[in-house]
Amino acid sequence: MGRKLKSRLEVAGIYLVVLIMFAVILYPLLWAVSISLNPGTSMFSSKLIPDSLSLEHYRWLFYDPRSDYVLWYKNTIYVAVLNALFSVIMVGLVAFVFSRYHFAGRKNSIYAVLLMQMFPVLMGMVAIYLLLNLVGLLDTFAGLIIFYVIGGLPMNVFLVKGYMDTIPRDLDESAKMDGAGHLTTYIRILFPLVRPILAVVALFTFMAPFMDFLTPRIILRSPEKFTIALGLFSFINDKVGNNFTMFAAGTILVALPIAVVFLILQRYLIAGLAEGATKG
């Protein structure tokens, strides 16, 4: 009887912790949705669900001629897609080299990658700013994408390399015996097996431009090139008035492309795990 009671108390404690975590995560989200549906511009409301719900803020974001929200959205998706694409390509190839080949300076290079993870990328922002200005990439999407790709390279390479090290090298040797080259071995043999971890890299690098404010603020200058974080900041940084309800509506819509990409990559993640287990 004592064991059953102890087991029930443990289960009840686990459910209590889960409910508390769920409430902490869900409450701010519900409050943001409530503010976005509340007419007016104030973020203060005595009720979680307003007496009158309105979609006027969402309509204003997409249909009002004074709104550049759609342009900010397009800019951000453009940067996010290219960032994820180039990050997956570069990270996969660099991790393949570190994991599968022994060359002069390999050990020191790995230590350098580990060392670079200890320092935030923003420490070199001044040098990066001057370099982008020197090569004419300041205030361009190319400069912003290069910063994101290079800045996330150390951590992502270390992550993918660790995953790739668990794959037996016999697969590489078999491919070489069949006449496969280095690139063919990576694309045809290793890439299907490392898709799960590359899907994680793609998801995180896709999310970065949606969440980041400081980097675009430093690199981008032209309003027509603003990402969604920069654009939404103008709603709450107006010298005349702050529109928190419009800001809330804009932030709610940011989650849509991230959720879509997550669902797509989740399918590839499961497929990659099943395929890796079959081949392994």
- 101-149 pLDDT, tens digit per residue, is 888 888 788 788 777 777 776 777 788 888 888 999 999 999 999 999 9
Structure confidence at residue 277 as a pLDDT band (50, 70, 90): very low
Between 120 and 210, the higher pLDDT residue: 210
Locate the domains of the chain by residue range: 2-58, 66-279
pLDDT in tens, 50-77: 667 778 888 888 888 878 899 999 999 9
Using a CB cutoff of 8 Å and minimum separation of 24, what contacts does 55-63 make? 57/245, 57/246, 57/248, 57/249, 58/249, 58/253, 60/246, 61/246, 61/249, 61/250, 61/253
The CATH number assigned to the domain with range 66-279 reads 1.10.3720.10
Share of the chain above pLDDT 70, in %: 88
For residues 183-206, give the mean pLDDT: 88
The two three-digit tokens of residue 188, written as one number: 């045809």
pTM for the whole structure: 0.82
Q: How confident is the model at residue 87 (pLDDT cuts 50, 70, 90)?
A: very high
pLDDT at 44: 60
User: In which residue are the tokens 């694309």 written?
Assistant: 187
Single out the residue of 266, 227, 218, 224 nearest to residue 75, CA to CA: 227
